[in-house]
Structure 1
Amino acid sequence: MGKYQQDAEKLLQEIGGKENIAAVTHCATRMRFVLNDESKANEKAIENIPSVKGMFTNAGQFQVIIGNDVPSFYNDFTAVSGIEGVSKEQSKAVAKQNQNLVQKAIGTLAEIFTPLLPAIIIGGLMLGFRNFLEGVPLGFLGDQTITQASTFWNGVNSFLWLPCEAIFHFLPVGITWSITRKMGTTQILGIVLGITLVSPQLLNAYAVNGTSAADIAANWTWDFGFFTVDKIGYQAQVIPAMLAGFLLVYLERFFRKHIPEAVAMIFVPLFSLLPTIIAAHVLLGPVGWKIGSGISYVVNAGLSSSFNWLFGLVFGALYSPLVITGLHHTTLAIDQQLVSDFGTTNLWPMIMLSNIAQGTAVLAIYFQHKGNKKEEQVSVPATISAYLGVTEPAMFGINLKYVYPFVAAMIGSSIGGMLITVTNSRALGIGVGGLPGLLSFPLKSYPWTIVSMVVTMVITFIMTYILRQVKALNKIEPALDDDDLSDLATVGAGVGASAPAAVTASVMDKGTGTVTEEMIYAPVAGEVIAIDQVNDPVFSKKMMGDGFAIRPTANEIYAPVYGKVVSVFETKHAIGITTATGAEVLVHMGLDTVELKGAPFDVKVKEGDQVTPETLLAVMDLTAVKASGKETDVLVVFTNGEKIDSVTLDMTGAVKEKSRIGHAEVLS
Structure 2
Amino acid sequence: MGKYHDDAEKLLTYVGGKENIAAVTHCATRMRFVLNDQSKADEKAIDDIASVKGMFTNAGQFQVIIGNDVSSFYNDFTAVSGIEGVSKEQSKSIAKNNQNLVQRAIGTLAEIFTPLLPAIIVGGLMLGLRNFLEGVPLGFLGDQTITQASTFWNGVNGFLWLPCEAIFHFLPVGITWSITRKMGTTQILGIVLGITLVSPQLLNAYSVSSTSAADILQNYTWDFGFFTIEKIGYQAQVIPAMLAGFLLVYLERFFRKWIPEAVSMIFVPLFSLLPTILAAHMVLGPIGWQIGSGISWVVNAGLTSPLNWLFGFIFGGLYAPLVITGLHHTTLAIDSQLVADFGSTNLWPMIMLSNIAQGTAVFAIWFLHRGNKKEEQVSVPATISAYMGVTEPAMFGINLKYVYPFVAAMIGSAFGGMLITATNTRALGIGVGGLPGFLSFKIENYPMVFLSMALTIVITFVFTLILRKVKFLNKLEPDLALVDAGNVSETATTEATVATPSAVSATEETLYAPADGQVIAITEVSDPVFSQKMMGDGFAVQPTDGTVYAPVAGTISSIFETKHAIGILTPGGAEVLVHMGLDTVELKGAPFEITVAEGDTVTPDTKIAVMNLDAVTAAGKQTDILTVFTNAEKVNQLSLAKTGTVQAKDQIGSATLN
TM-score by length of 2: 0.68
Question: Which shows bigger deviation, 178-187 or 390-399?
Answer: 390-399
Contact 2:239–2:289 (8 Å) recurs in 1: yes
Report the CA distance shift for 1:237/1:302 in structure 2 as closer, same or farther (over 3 A). Answer: same
Structure 1 residue 422: Cα displacement:
1.4
1:420 is aligned to 420
Q: How does 1:126-275 map to 2 (within 5 A)?
A: 126-275=126-275
Mapped pair 1:327 → 2:327: yes
In 2, Cα distance between equivalents of 1:110 and 1:94: 19
Q: CA RMSD in A?
A: 3.4
In 2, Cα distance between equivalents of 1:524 and 1:169: 55
1:336 is aligned to 336
Structure 1 residue 84: Cα displacement:
7.5
Contact 1:5–1:76 (8 Å) recurs in 2: no
Contact 2:189–2:269 (8 Å) recurs in 1: yes
Structure 1 residue 318: Cα displacement:
1.0
- Spell out, residue by residue over 1:555-602, the C-alpha distance to the aligned partner (whole angstroms, 9 max, x if none): xxxxxxxxxxxxxxxxxxxxxxxxxxxxxxxxxxxxxxxxxxxxxxxx
Mapped pair 1:119 → 2:100: no
Q: How does 1:443-462 map to 2 (within 5 A)?
A: 443-462=443-462
- Spell out, residue by residue over 1:104-134, the C-alpha distance to the aligned partner (whole angstroms, 9 max, x if none): 1110000000010011001101110111111
In 1, Cα distance between equivalents of 2:436 and 2:49: 35
In 2, Cα distance between equivalents of 1:369 and 1:324: 25
Mapped pair 1:318 → 2:336: no
Contact 1:221–1:230 (8 Å) recurs in 2: yes
Contact 2:26–2:71 (8 Å) recurs in 1: no
Q: How does 1:357-506 map to 2 (within 5 A)?
A: 357-478=357-478, 481=481, 483=483
Structure 1 residue 275: Cα displacement:
0.7
Q: How does 1:506-517 map to 2 (within 5 A)?
A: none
Report the CA distance shift for 1:442/1:190 in structure 2 as closer, same or farther (over 3 A). Answer: same
Q: How does 1:40-59 map to 2 (within 5 A)?
A: 40-48=40-48, 55-59=55-59
In 2, Cα distance between equivalents of 1:112 and 1:375: 35
Give the number of aligned pairs. Answer: 491
Report the CA distance shift for 1:287/1:17 in structure 2 as closer, same or farther (over 3 A). Answer: same
Structure 1 residue 51: Cα displacement:
8.3
Structure 1 residue 48: Cα displacement:
4.5
Structure 1 residue 370: Cα displacement:
2.5
The residue matched to 1:190 in structure 2 has which SS? helix
The residue matched to 1:225 in structure 2 has which SS? coil
Report the CA distance shift for 1:295/1:31 in structure 2 as closer, same or farther (over 3 A). Answer: farther
1:570 is aligned to none
1:38 is aligned to 38
1:301 is aligned to 301
Structure 1 residue 90: Cα displacement:
5.8
Mapped pair 1:22 → 2:36: no
Query: Unmatched 5+ residue regions in structure 2?
Result: 79-83, 488-493, 501-632, 637-658
Report the CA distance shift for 1:155/1:104 in structure 2 as closer, same or farther (over 3 A). Answer: same
Report the CA distance shift for 1:221/1:407 in structure 2 as closer, same or farther (over 3 A). Answer: same
The residue matched to 2:102 in structure 1 has which SS? helix
Structure 1 residue 234: Cα displacement:
0.2
Letter in 2 for 1:334: I
Mapped pair 1:278 → 2:278: yes
The residue matched to 1:321 in structure 2 has which SS? helix
Contact 1:409–1:460 (8 Å) recurs in 2: yes
Question: Which shows bigger deviation, 9-18 or 340-349?
Answer: 9-18
Structure 1 residue 102: Cα displacement:
1.0
Contact 2:30–2:65 (8 Å) recurs in 1: yes
Contact 2:368–2:485 (8 Å) recurs in 1: no
- For the pair shown, the structure with the greater C-alpha radius of gyration is 1
Contact 2:471–2:481 (8 Å) recurs in 1: no
In 1, Cα distance between equivalents of 2:91 and 2:139: 58
Letter in 1 for 2:23: A
Structure 1 residue 472: Cα displacement:
2.8
Report the CA distance shift for 1:129/1:74 in structure 2 as closer, same or farther (over 3 A). Answer: farther
Structure 1 residue 5: Cα displacement:
12
1:555 is aligned to none
Report the CA distance shift for 1:73/1:366 in structure 2 as closer, same or farther (over 3 A). Answer: farther
In 1, Cα distance between equivalents of 2:31 and 2:389: 22
Structure 1 residue 386: Cα displacement:
1.7
Q: How does 1:519-534 map to 2 (within 5 A)?
A: 526=498
In 1, Cα distance between equivalents of 2:438 and 2:115: 23
1:618 is aligned to none
In 1, Cα distance between equivalents of 2:495 and 2:231: 79
Structure 1 residue 438: Cα displacement:
1.8
- Spell out, residue by residue over 1:523-563, the C-alpha distance to the aligned partner (whole angstroms, 9 max, x if none): 998469xxxxxxxxxxxxxxxxxxxxxxxxxxxxxxxxxxx
Structure 1 residue 276: Cα displacement:
0.6
Structure 1 residue 10: Cα displacement:
7.8
Report the CA distance shift for 1:443/1:25 in structure 2 as closer, same or farther (over 3 A). Answer: farther
In 1, Cα distance between equivalents of 2:499 and 2:6: 22
Report the CA distance shift for 1:365/1:431 in structure 2 as closer, same or farther (over 3 A). Answer: same
Structure 1 residue 314: Cα displacement:
0.6
In 2, Cα distance between equivalents of 1:5 and 1:397: 29
The residue matched to 2:147 in structure 1 has which SS? helix
The percent identity for this pair of structures is 77
In 1, Cα distance between equivalents of 2:339 and 2:12: 48
